[in-house]
Structure 1
């Protein structure tokens, strides 16, 4: 088969855009909020909706997979070529909570189209970016004259991502044989902005904890005992203050062990992006930028490990004064990790650091809430270059730049369990307002995302033959 001409792909996407968007609107009306136990049935209904529509799209296999929590959806459409690469597309069908009283101008689960934008919870994160794969795959088939895709396409659409993916690693392990692939394609990320097509190459990992500090057996009089016994609130503050050194580096010994440093090429690629610090600060609702010395803002949030104090509490919090030495205090910390760091090692280092800094008379307990590992795709990987070419074709041969995500997700679990490189293809932009009131997706970008998907399935088997045992 010849390569799919760009105009044939675009013609198909344009001709079927109305039906595609009607289906997406139908799906967005299902309030699949995984964090709300009262919406569990809606999450199941969302999974059943997706499986049914995928079968209608042409997928020979589309199944709802149960977990101890909420269901995922698996689908598969094999290629006619048994030697073609196998790509697993990951996304999620659950969404964040939303209520009109949060500041929505309409009902969050009644999609509204305005000025080329579709407003609804899940429009960008992540139902819109999942559903674009159906239009992209059909455009690939129509433009190439195929009855089956040029690659083996599998989908795994999770139902608990917005709740921390508690059952996802076990689901991957349980179904590893059916999920086996040569590459994973994650469509749960975005682009730099509407005018700058970009491809993400990595996400940071995460581990976070709560430190409970205990001093006197009860609150005691600060006049009678203060200054002569250890104060857990003071020690919580001292820990928070000691978390970084004078250069804003994390001061926990061993924290930076294994960190993969940015190359000069990567720093140069970041510097090519049209970064407007004042605009970024407005988005961050901050009046100044601050962080590790020697790195730019983008380098800090994409490629450097960080530690943040998420909360400090303890003692009297009511109106007026209450002169006590409190019995207990609490400190919440989170650590974003980059390639080369090991979460277990970081957790041990934090435990040792806390224990070494606390005085006698302060008992403490540390609770870690699991960990998400970092994920990074080498810039020279041939499958990544296929994603870049596909995005460029969809955006009329514009140059495609590279970004990373400062946040975290299950990409590393997919990589590690399935032993496959992770690629990212997303079209959402910062103004889409993930997790915020009036979340939206740019309809023009959503259709371009479908075009990129169509071009990717055509390009990938032409330029990459994965090594297999």
Structure 2
């Protein structure tokens, strides 16, 4: 007989105690970007390692050139094995005066009738999310004496400062981190009542280009009309990156992109994401993405090109009538499917050079490149997790893509050869990275129950 009902009942009965545990972790100001909090960051790592050790994990801290990584193992020979990833570091709290309460003194608030939240820095990103998984482990072990699958927990302390030491750690410890797939709880739900699995993440190519014309800034009254203006040249080039339908004009840019299945399109259409709902919150009304694509496709499953910054000439107060000698832009491409980052970077540079007039040169600086990652839609683990979430929330769990990039997921694929399920319970209004960060108690409670169901589902055979 399944022991899942008993596990879920224990999670229900233990909610207050689990909130107390979360609060004690949230009280530790583990701000990774500020060296003044280095001791606190270590204390937060030690807190989690001790908690996992109390659950029967072999747990401890692994040193890096920066903050330590919490690594804990509880194997189960003959069963699937998962690698769970999260982070214990948090963002700085500035501006402090905009907080309604002290950021490291967690409080429970009712923000609307029947809706309670816990407010603190890290409540959602990522301590609250990590603890949904830990509490599911705790209840499962308490009721059954064991876990249905093998689990490795890896929680780092530098996600908010770029995870600079994580790729090397994963590479150097690949054998110890070996698993069938990874789990990440650092994403969100579709809405307060609809769970989601983020099954794909867009990749990234980031290039900086500098256009040079004259060997110095020029007097526009003397040279205007004769000398090439790099701001004009650059403006024409970046304007040419899109056509009138919103498509990106780099030759071969769309190579390696597969269309979503009809079922995926139908599921996305059922979510009914509208321009008013999505763009209205930022004061806009009209999408400028590819013509003929649903809004949800434009933001999660299609590639993009954006000019992130452009400058040149005089930009100070008042006037200065110059023709700049140089102009620069930073341009990012979000990639999907099997688009190759190196090919896209080369295509961009060729695109620029082909449009340079005589006497004009271009130099480029690369600021990173990573491919997109995706879990195959036919993945048994994905199907099992989706069914478990649907059972818990009473609504079909949707599989969505993320417009952003989470580098560790690419590291897991590249260095460990495993796919990642991103299951999170954050909400759009959680104020992540902002004052008054919060996490809904429904997300925390039902997140625990969701992971308990997923753990049991992943132990079953077949699709």
TM-score range, shorter chain: over 0.9
1:210 counterpart = 2:208: yes
Which residue of the partner structure matches residue 167 of structure 2?
Answer: 169
Q: Are residues 22 and 382 of structure 1, via their aligned partners in 2, closer, same or farther at CA, if it must alter by over 3 Å? A: same
**Aligned ranges 1:397-408 → 2 under 5 Å:** 397-408=394-405
- Range that drifts further, 114-123 or 233-242: 233-242
Provide the residue aligned with 1:327 in structure 2: 325
Counterpart for residue 222 of structure 1: 220
Question: CA offsets, 1:284-318, max 9 Å, x none?
Answer: 44232221111111001110000111111111112
- Please say which of residues 42-51 and 113-122 is displaced more in the overlay: 42-51
Secondary structure in 2 aligned to 1:141? Answer: helix
Separation of aligned partners in 1, 2:189 and 2:247: 29
Matches within 5 A, 1:224-373: 224-373=222-371
Q: By how many angstroms is 1:102 displaced? A: 6.7
Specify whether residues 98 and 240 from structure 1 end up closer, same or farther in structure 2 by C-alpha distance, changes over 3 A only. farther
Q: Deviation at 1:335?
A: 1.0
What CA deviation, in whole Å up to 9, does each residue of 1:400-444 have, x standing for no partner? 222221111021211221112211211111121222332211111
What's the TM-score, normalizing by structure 1?
Answer: 0.92
Provide closer, same or farther for how the CA distance between residues 334 and 14 of structure 1 changes in structure 2, counting only shifts above 3 A.
same
Structure 2 unpaired stretches of 5+: 111-115
Partners of 2:129 and 2:299 lie apart in 1 by 24
The alignment status of 1:98 with 2:96, answered yes or no, reads no
Match of 2:184?
186
Check if 1:142 corresponds to 2:142. Answer: yes
Deviation per CA, 1:373-412: give whole Å up to 9, x if none: 31111222111111112212322x4322222211110212
Deviation per residue, 1:127-148 (Å, 9 max, x gap)? 11111111101222234x2x22
Q: Which residue of structure 2 aligns with residue 159 of structure 1?
A: 157
Task: Specify the alignment match of 2:63 in structure 1.
Answer: 66
Q: Secondary structure at the match of 1:265?
A: helix
3-state secondary structure, aligned to 1:247: coil
Match of 2:182, SS?
strand
Q: Distance in 2 between matches of 1:361 and 1:44?
A: 56
Equivalent position SS for 2:450: helix
Contact 1:113 1:119 in 2 (8 A): yes
Deviation at 1:212, TM superposition (A): 2.2
Contact 2:8–2:452 under 8 Å retained in 1: no
Distance 1:5 1:48, change over 3 A: closer
- Alignment: residue pair count: 457
Cα distance in 1 for residues equivalent to 2:362 and 2:299:
31
Give the match for residue 113 of structure 2.
none
Q: Tell me the distance in 2 between the aligned counterparts of 1:110 and 1:9.
A: 30
Q: Is the 8 A contact 1:128 1:446 kept in 2?
A: yes
Aligned to 2:454: 456
8 Å CA contact 2:128–2:444 kept in 1: the answer is: yes
CA change 1:371–1:94 in 2 (3 A) is farther
- Determine the structure 2 residue equivalent to 1:388: 386
**Structure 1: runs of 5+ lacking an equivalent:** none
Matched residues in 2 for 1:199 and 1:205: separation?
18
Tell me the secondary structure at the aligned position of residue 138 of structure 1: helix
- What SS does structure 2 have at the residue aligned with 1:207? strand
8 A Cα contact 2:338 2:371, kept in partner: no
RMSD (CA atoms): 1.9
Q: 2:404 & 2:155 partners in 1: Cα distance?
A: 19
CA contact (8 A) 1:186 1:425 kept: yes
Q: Secondary structure at the match of 2:118?
A: strand
Q: 1:53 to 1:337 in 2, by over 3 A?
A: same
Q: Which deviates further from its counterpart, 102-111 or 12-21?
A: 102-111
For 1:377, the equivalent position in structure 2 comes to: 375
The separation in 1 between residues aligned to 2:388 and 2:430, in whole angstroms, is 23
Contact preservation (8 Å) 2:309, 2:329: yes
